[in-house]
Amino acid sequence: MTQPLAPTPRIPSRRWPGRPRRRGYVLVMTLLLLALAGLILVGIARHSLALAQEAIESERDLQDRWGALSLEHALFARADDLLSPPADVQAPAARPAPRRAGELRLGGTTYRFLLGNESAKLNLNTALRLRDPEAVRGVLAELADQPLPIVLRPATDEASPPFSSWGQVVAYDQLPEGEVPERLLSGTLHVTCWGNGRLKLTSADPRTIAALCRLARVPPHRGRQLVQVVEAHPEYKLPELLAAAQLDERELARLRPHLTDRPETYSLWLVSMQGARRACRFSVVEQGLGGARRTKRFTW
C-alpha cells in the first residue's frame, strides 16, 4: 500500500524587520508620470495656440498695412480728380473741394479716409515767418474747429522748416488717451505744417484767406474784397483774382509770395477697422524739386 505524500512545508517570507510593504508604489508612480505628461501636453498646447494667435495677428497686421498703402497710393494718384468739381457742376460757380471723405472695404477691413489739399490750408511756417509765435497761436485758436493744447517747439536747424510735424505744435500728453488722432483731425482742417507755404485761394476757406491777409498786414477790407472775388470767380487764375481784388502794389508785394495756383501737397487721414482692431494713419505727399514726391507717414 502506497503512502501519501507529505505536504510541502510553507517557507515563511523573509522581511526585514521594521520595513513596511510597498503596496501600490508602481501605481502611484504611474499616475504621477501620467499627470506630469498631461501638464506638459497642456503647456505645449497653450504655447501652440499662442503661436497660432500671434501668426493670425501678424497676418492681419500685414493685410492692414498693405491695404492702407494700396489705398494711399490710389488716392494720392487721383487726388487732383477727386478734389476737382464734379463734371455735372457748371462753371464758373464750381470750386475745387479742399477735402473729400469716403469709406471703402478691402477684404475684411473697413477703411475710412479723408483726402485733403494741404495747399488749401494756412501754413504755420508761413505764419511764423510773417509774424511771431504768438501770431501762430492766434491762428491756431481762430481756425481750429476744436481747441488744441498748443506747445510750439520749432526746429532750430536752418535746413529744416520750423514745424514739420504736429508733435512740434500740439501737446499730445494733454489730450485724452486714445483721442489724439480725432482731435488732431478736427483741429487742423484749416492749418498745416507741410508744403511750400503757399495758399491756393480757390480751394481755401474764407476764414483761411482772411487770416493770411491779416498776417501779411493787408487791410481787413482788402481781405474781405479778395474773399468775395474768389467766391464769385473761382475759375480765375491767380493774377486775375488779385487784379479783381484791386490790391495796391504794397499789398501785392506782401501777399503774392504766399499764394499759388497749383496744389502741390496732399494729405490723407486713414482709419482702418477690423473687428475690435482699430488703427489710425496720417500721411502727407509733397511735390519736390523735379517733380519728385516725398511721403511722410504717422501712425497711432
Residues 126 and 254 in one domain: yes
Residue from 6, 107, 121, 14 nearest 61 by CA? 107
Q: Tell me which residue range forms the domain holding 184.
A: 119-260
Residues 182 and 300 in one domain: no
Residue 35, CA distances (Å) to 24, 28, 46, 49 in order: 17, 11, 17, 21
Q: Mean pLDDT over residues 267-286, rounded?
A: 91
pLDDT of residue 266: 94
Residues 37 and 76 in one domain: yes
Residues 144 and 195 in one domain: yes
Surface-to-core class of residue 274, CB atoms within 10 Å of its CB (0-12 exposed, 13-18 middle, 19+ buried): middle
pLDDT of residue 110: 93
Surface-to-core class of residue 106, CB atoms within 10 Å of its CB (0-12 exposed, 13-18 middle, 19+ buried): middle
pLDDT of residue 289: 53
What is the distance between the alpha carbons of residues 224 and 197, in angstroms, rounded to a whole number? Answer: 21
What is the distance between the alpha carbons of residues 61 and 65, in angstroms, rounded to a whole number? Answer: 6
Is 1 contained in some domain? Answer: no
Residues 244 and 167 in one domain: yes
Helix count and strand count (H, E) for the chain: 9, 9
As given in the structure block, the three cell numbers for residue 118 are 494741404
Residues pairing with 200 in the sheet: 260
As given in the structure block, the three cell numbers for residue 279 are 488703427
Residues 256 and 288 in one domain: no
Q: Are 195 and 122 in contact (CB under 8 A)?
A: no
User: Cell match 496720417: residue?
Assistant: 282
SS3 154: coil
Residues 126 and 107 in one domain: no
Encode pLDDT of 146-204 as tens digits. Answer: 888 999 998 888 778 899 999 999 999 998 888 889 999 989 999 999 988 999 999 99
pLDDT of residue 107: 80
Is 18 contained in some domain? Answer: no
> Kind and range of the H or E element at 91?
none
How would residue 112 be classed by pLDDT, with cut points 50, 70 and 90?
very high
Query: What is the share, in percent, of the chain residues with pLDDT greater than 90?
Result: 41
Residues 132 and 256 in one domain: yes
Residues 76 and 137 in one domain: no
Is 154 contained in some domain? Answer: yes
Query: What is the share, in percent, of the chain residues with pLDDT greater than 70?
Result: 88
How would residue 288 be classed by pLDDT, with cut points 50, 70 and 90?
low
> Kind and range of the H or E element at 196?
none
How would residue 17 be classed by pLDDT, with cut points 50, 70 and 90?
low
Question: Quick one: CA dihedral 215, 217, 222, 226, positive or negative?
Answer: negative
As given in the structure block, the three cell numbers for residue 171 are 501737446
The interaxial angle of helices 133-143 and 206-215, nearest 10 deg, is 160
Encode pLDDT of 66-96 as tens digits. Answer: 889 999 999 999 998 898 876 655 555 567 8
pLDDT of residue 52: 84
Q: Would you say residue 209 has pLDDT above 90?
A: yes
pLDDT of residue 290: 56
Q: Mean pLDDT over residues 254-281, rounded?
A: 90
Q: Would you say residue 22 has pLDDT above 80?
A: no
pLDDT of residue 201: 92
Number of independent structural domains in the chain: 2
**How many beta carbons lie within 10 A of that of residue 150, not counting itself?**
16
Question: pTM here?
Answer: 0.77
| Radius of gyration, alpha carbons of the chain | 36
pLDDT of residue 76: 92
Q: Would you say residue 99 has pLDDT above 70?
A: yes
Is 206 contained in some domain? Answer: yes
